[in-house]
Structure 1
Amino acid sequence: MNKLLTFFVLIFISISCKTEGGKNNHVLPTSTGNTNKILVVIKGVDWEGRIGDEIRTTFGEHQVGLPQPETLLSVSQIDPVGYKGFIRNAKAVLIVREGEQEKITVEKNKYAQPQILVYATAKDKEGIVNLIRNRGKEILQLFKDEDVKFIQRIFNKEKLDESKFKTIKDLGVTITIPERYNLVEDTGEFLWLRQHLKSGIARGDGSNNILVYSYPLEDEAKVADNITNMRDVIGEKYIPGSKEGMYMITEQAYTPFTYDAEIDGKKAFETRGKWEVKNDFMAGPFINYTIVDKEHNRVIVFEGFTYAPSVNKRDFIFELEAIGKSLTIK
């Protein structure tokens, strides 16, 4: 009887250690690698040739709105024969290979967690070049979206208690902000939080700043065109410089870029540009999400801006992007 019981227990354990697809349900190691960085698995000769050129062109495009040129993603390469052992624990991997069918496929948490593997497959080298050229932006977005989720998961574990902010409560929104942000101003109509960049995902001198406010929706067709003007009004009213007559404005020598977006299932606009302090030398990049809340006849604005002189700022702004995309309207 004991032998029979042992037999059934072993069978149960064996079945329990399988997941869908027959993979072992063992604990995966923690992935390695930072946000906005990917590892490309491709033969060295192809990396130095047209395929590598196309990958570098696509992922090496400069992020708009930054004072210094910085690429959308940082890319490194490894030969397929070297893609083994702990190297396979990389968080974001693009695997380029030849196959019968041209396609892009995604696999998550195969060797580590969190992890995204994107396979770019085509029949020959020319096909791979065309695939990267035609669908490279799609591949890039897959990696960016996973990085946003990665940061948001971290911030969920160290979330600031937003119930203590009058503006958040009065606007009826919720947003995942890490607890290292400190209050600057909270009027009930306007919220300003600041993080000194000494710890966290974004590190360096200076600060990351978050603004949340709203204004009445008058003409939906003019919302996008009014973004710059509205942020200048807010800057003059709430964000002073070191002396009288100084306040934050949109940098006049740089035209911001505005894109269609979606926040919490609602129509929105993403604007990237540069801010400066009028009559002063302070400046930096900003990212702005302007959300059309038709149900409440208003526009809700989340803005993040960075002041970090003499250092790269891509990752600082990306952290603010992840926070902004967590905003929901109750």
Structure 2
Amino acid sequence: MLVVIKGNDWEGKVGDELRTVFGEHQVGLPQPETILSVTQVDPTGFASFMRNSKSILVLEKGAKESFSIKENKYSKPQVVMFITAKDEAGFIKVIQQKSKEIIKTFQALDIKKMQRHFAKNKLDDSKYKTTKNLGLSLTIPKIFKTVDDTGEFLWLRQHLKSGIARGDGSNNILIYALPLEDEATVAENITKMRDAIGEKYIPGSDEGMYMITEQAYAPFTFDAEIDGKKAYETRGKWEVKNDFMAGPFINYTIVDKKNNRLIVFEGFTYAPSVNKRDFIFELEAIGKSLKIK
């Protein structure tokens, strides 16, 4: 996110509030990483290529407090948000009132951009027995390779042997379905369900080792919506039981009432010693592309 604000305001109380709000850490990651990456520019320097940024927040002095959003003002795709106020207190008030909307809007823009990028070179998901049997489609880039496809459980993996991963890491996708038994208890049973799947399908290097939800770190679950259906988004950390492998995961558990089932998409990352926000973000974009046919 590019913040257009005068330097003295950025160094003062308004800048402190912006850094507090938009410097919030993303939950479920092993290392502290902010939800958004923020860059500041003075209005005098906001010209030419700077205006091509896709997510822009402009703070400017005005007679009254206001907040507005304009799409594709300087380039496409782009969202530009304007906060107007007459003084520090006014700016801080609007920032606090609109912070959640600002974050949600900019994140949605990033997701759509990533999905368009993946769509240019996507896998043919109809070739997988599991997605075919479950009646699902997703936008998954071709860099993912099949680990397991039973017809009931799909595991795809992207190796991260170069670039920012700097090691033999991987991004992983899991897709499966479970019976919908009691809708009221879905959220509280997500950890139990994913641990059962880990024991059944995701073994470690030796007997008795398999993927589980990290026991020392309680995951966070939020209400979500996938393909117009009620869903739960869970972020947390996984580990291999009786081993030292671990990393972050994002899980979407979708309530498919029509077919009396839960559709589960999970992405998890193994990338030791490097930041993992961007890897989980890519998995989030794939998960949010899921459609039930």
TM-score scaled by length of structure 1 = 0.86
In the alignment, residue 80 of structure 2 is paired with which amino acid?
A: L
Structure 1, unaligned stretches of length 5 or more? 1-37
2:141 pairs with 1:172: no
Q: Counterpart of 2:152?
A: 189
> How far, CA to CA, are the matches of 2:205 and 2:93 in structure 1?
53
Q: Counterpart of 1:290?
A: 253
- Cα deviation for residue 118 of structure 1 reads 1.4
Q: How does 1:1-330 map to 2 (within 5 A)?
A: 38-198=1-161, 204-205=166-167, 206-330=169-293
- Cα deviation for residue 212 of structure 1 reads 0.3
> How far, CA to CA, are the matches of 1:217 and 1:115 in structure 2?
40
Greater CA drift, 82-91 or 308-317: 82-91
8 Å contact from structure 2 (residues 226, 290) kept in 1 = yes
8 Å contact from structure 2 (residues 65, 86) kept in 1 = yes
- Cα deviation for residue 101 of structure 1 reads 4.1
- The SS at the match of 1:255 is coil
- Cα deviation for residue 220 of structure 1 reads 0.3
- Cα deviation for residue 245 of structure 1 reads 0.8
- Cα deviation for residue 291 of structure 1 reads 0.3
- The SS at the match of 1:131 is helix
8 Å contact from structure 1 (residues 183, 193) kept in 2 = yes
> How far, CA to CA, are the matches of 1:284 and 1:164 in structure 2?
29
Greater CA drift, 122-131 or 284-293: 122-131
8 Å contact from structure 2 (residues 23, 36) kept in 1 = yes
- Cα deviation for residue 287 of structure 1 reads 0.2
- The SS at the match of 1:209 is strand
- Cα deviation for residue 97 of structure 1 reads 1.3
> How far, CA to CA, are the matches of 1:97 and 1:140 in structure 2?
19
In the alignment, residue 48 of structure 1 is paired with which amino acid?
A: E
TM-score scaled by length of structure 2 = 0.97
> How far, CA to CA, are the matches of 1:270 and 1:124 in structure 2?
38
Q: Counterpart of 1:34?
A: none
> How far, CA to CA, are the matches of 1:196 and 1:277 in structure 2?
18
CA displacement, residues 155-211 of structure 1 (integer Å, 9 cap, x when unaligned):
1111101111000000001111011100000000000000012579x7543110000
> How far, CA to CA, are the matches of 1:157 and 1:239 in structure 2?
30
- The SS at the match of 2:3 is strand
In the alignment, residue 123 of structure 2 is paired with which amino acid?
A: L
- The SS at the match of 2:38 is strand
> How far, CA to CA, are the matches of 1:100 and 1:156 in structure 2?
45
In the alignment, residue 143 of structure 2 is paired with which amino acid?
A: R
Structure 2, unaligned stretches of length 5 or more? none
Percentage of matched positions with identical amino acids: 69
In the alignment, residue 155 of structure 2 is paired with which amino acid?
A: W
Task: Flag the structure with larger Rg.
Answer: 1
- Cα deviation for residue 98 of structure 1 reads 2.1
- The SS at the match of 2:60 is strand
| Structure 1 ranges of 4+ moved more than 6 A | none
The 1:59–1:42 alpha-carbon spacing in structure 2 relative to 1, beyond 3 Å, is same
8 Å contact from structure 2 (residues 126, 137) kept in 1 = no
In the alignment, residue 273 of structure 2 is paired with which amino acid?
A: S
> How far, CA to CA, are the matches of 2:86 and 2:190 in structure 1?
46
In the alignment, residue 289 of structure 1 is paired with which amino acid?
A: Y
8 Å contact from structure 1 (residues 98, 125) kept in 2 = no
- Cα deviation for residue 53 of structure 1 reads 0.6
> How far, CA to CA, are the matches of 1:175 and 1:90 in structure 2?
28
